[in-house]
Structure 1
Amino acid sequence: MSNESKYTLQIWGRITLIILLAALTYFINF
Structure 2
Amino acid sequence: MATHLVSASVVLLAPIIFRMQVMAKAPSTP
TM-score, normalisation: structure 2: 0.53
Name the % identity.
Answer: 4
User: Matched residues in 2 for 1:22 and 1:15: separation?
Assistant: 12
Structure 1 runs of 4+ off > 6 angstroms? none
1:8-27 Cα deviation digits (max 9, x unpaired): 54332111001000000000
User: Matched residues in 2 for 1:27 and 1:19: separation?
Assistant: 12
- Give the match for residue 18 of structure 1: 15
Instruction: Specify every segment of 5 or more residues in structure 2 that has no aligned partner in the other structure, as ranges.
Output: none
Paired residues in the alignment total 27
